[in-house]
Structure 1
């Protein structure tokens, strides 16, 4: 279980551009939940993910996992049990390394690195099986550099890499925003399947309201650092894209 407790976050304090984004912000995400997060620009969506991952610090408050504070952990320590897929397909992978080398790095996340070879050839068949499960024909391209793949292919591999090792949380930061519509549909279908099959706890920021409605079992809408809509379970299932759009338009003119 993830808990954000009494969080405060101010950007540029004491300046003319000061922004008090989060004030006494609280959020609990239960194990196994798939939470979709929507909101206008500047509502705090990505800041929330960055604080959870340790990319930026909160001013006060706490981040707890299973009741234990992780606030003082560095981001690389948190990423031992947090997988993240970014908006830009170029992030999260190493373009000058082969797909095999990228998968090997992800497979060794959280483990100690010595002077032995980074690629364990005994795992190649496993990597091929995992790639084959994506249905994109990548299983026979292990020796191809990541930088030569299309954006959609790289994002699919990044998603696989993020979930290759046991995770507590999967963080998805607008991970389909840079893709064409057809590829985005493919990546979302893969996302839903991986989250379901691996029983992951996931948080997904998206600007696509239909994806927010169709995927996940809980939906949050943020506005100016506050949760203005929280639907889960049957209430989430009953929510339509049209209703969500109407609510979105209401807060956008406030």
Structure 2
């Protein structure tokens, strides 16, 4: 069979849920014609379903070599990178997919925007987990030092109650200082996925950070999410949302780098 016929056979297997068969036919299509980026992205998708993440990355990179603006390649690449524990790389790839979706007016732009936000949340959670581990280890070292030097400070008998009190003090302080930290979705810009500084609302009811939306409108005079026509004249300051963003950032300075 020709390469295109093999790809069609792969599509049929994929639609039937036969991922092993689909991968086999896509691989045969690639052997017949290794210059078609779509063959690689098709195989990347089926390999995503089979949890073959390293191979997905290989296929996506090859597809990007063949077609630099392959939306599917960047989207699948980001998904695989996240599964392998590389959130920074995943966010970079998925943001590129988002840019391409906007430029190509793809109906998947909304779903990709949601994925970007999910990746950013995951990246933040991993960062928070590492930070808490560091702080917890630091607190435990301080507790051990206090117990070690206690006799020199006149504390001759360290009872289990005193040890528990010390642990409770460090534990309470850490909990108060480093409780679960989240940014409400409504404060997030749908283009940069950061907390908005100067939000504006469109005639379609969507809010964006002014600077990033104006930059987008230079490239495409459309709403990034709905793809409806949009110009700078259609924007209005969202004063209530701006006040909410300012209040949140004032009380949560860490969110600036979220």
- Considering the TM-score relative to the shorter chain, is it more than 0.5? no
Give the structure-1-normalised TM-score. Answer: 0.25
User: Which one has a larger percent helix, Structure 1 or Structure 2?
Assistant: 2
Q: Indicate the structure whose relative CO is greater, using CA pairs within 8 Å and at least 6 residues apart.
A: 1
User: Which one has a larger percent strand, Structure 1 or Structure 2?
Assistant: 1
Give the structure-2-normalised TM-score. Answer: 0.25
